[in-house]
Each structure stands twice: as C-alpha cells, then as structure tokens.
Structure 1
Amino acid sequence: MLQTRLAAGVTQLPVFGCGHTTALFLPHQTPYQTPPEEIAALNEAQRQAFLVAASQAMAPILVSLQLGDATDDETLNAKAWQAYYRELKLVDVTVAKPSTTPGRWPNAWATRRRLTVPARSIAGAA
C-alpha cells in the first residue's frame, strides 16, 4: 500500500524518486451543509418569483372578470391561478428541497387541470 495511516487526519505517503516519505495533513472532509437561514432565503426568493409570475398571469383575466365580460374559460383560469397562488403561500420554505417534500412547490398546470376536469354527470352515466 502506498500510504500509511499515522494519526487522525495525517497520512504518510512515499515521495517517489527520493527514497524517503513525507507526512501530509489530510483533514477529514465533511460535506457542505447549507445554513437554514440561507435555505429559507433561497426558497423564499423562489416563491416570490412564482408569485410574481402567477400575478402577471392573473392580471388580464381579473380585468375581464371585473368588467363582467369574462368567458367561462377565463373564469376557470382565474380560479386555477388563484388556487395556485394560495398553494404557493402554504409551501414550507424552511426545508432544503420543497419539491421533494409534502409542502412541495405546487404546479400551476396541475392546479388548472384539477379545476377544469368536468365532473361526470349522473344523467350522462345512465
């Protein structure tokens, strides 16, 4: 074996061509752990970006609703975007990966699909 263990964190390696060995200090490497404050700040920034995008998508639809000339599709879109916005507010930003936890980042398209899938009518099923 080329290296010999001396003490915790010190390894003796041969120096090739010189005929002697040298001791190197090789500290134990621990993986970097992101501080909780940084995790929360990064996730809050991501949430704010999602909220801004949702607000921008809702703005023209809400104008149509307020003017009273919104179509049925625009009404469904407004409900979907508002549900998505509320779901974003519920995400726990203190966990390292909200996308892999129960309080994960909601999906705007999944929210839209959930609200627009028509319920089966009892009369149509007969």
Structure 2
Amino acid sequence: MSSAARRSLLLLLAPLLLGCDRLADLLELPDPQKEALVADAEGRAIGSACRHAGRSLEDCYVLNPKAQKAAVFAGWREMNDYMMEHKLQDVPSQLVPQPAKTSPADEGEDAPAIVPGMPFTPIKPSAS
C-alpha cells in the first residue's frame, strides 16, 4: 500500500476513531465531562458516608478538603433524608486519632495495621 493510500485511509477513519470513547480511554485523553461526573459522585459518596457516621457537615468539609462542597452537601442531605425517613441511627466511627510516630522503633508488636494516608488508627479490640 502506498504512502498516499495510507494517509487517505487514515483521514477517512479518523472521524470514526476520534468519536470512540474506548480510543480516548486507551490514549488516556482527558475528558472534562467524565471527570466532573466522577468528582460529583465521589463528593456525594463522601457526604453520605459522613452523615451515616454521624459527622457534622463542617467536619466532613475539613476532613475532605479536595471534595466539591456542593456534592458533599448533596450527599450528606440525601443520606440525612433517608435516615430520617427510615428512622436509622448513626453508625459512629471505630477509629481514633493516630499519634505521630518519631521512628519505626515506636511501633510495637501489637500495633494495629495502619493504612498509608489514613489519619486514624483502628481501635484494637479489648481482650475481656
């Protein structure tokens, strides 16, 4: 196939390929509309989880500064309405603030697992 024929074929197929979402995903092209939908969904999930855990809306904003406040509020409000309608109680968090560590030697054998980026340590069940 000649070079001119290849170019012609590519020019004919280009509009079809550029409209394909899968091609955009393969090439990792940014899609602002898709990113906005994902950010909104994540914000709603964060707000919903905060309300379910009994956190105030202000605490939720402080703990999730990168989340869209409008989406967080919408998720918080939706969960609040749902919980009021079904007479559900808060499910408080079982995490406690994690103290700052100065060295790896500070970690004891019985230290609970710490997830990177998590500002809290799971509460260790008491042996009764």
If the length of structure 1 is used for normalisation, what is the TM-score? 0.34
Which of structures 1 and 2 has the bigger CA Rg? 1
How does the TM-score come out when normalised to structure 2?
0.33
- Structure with the bigger percentage of strand: 1
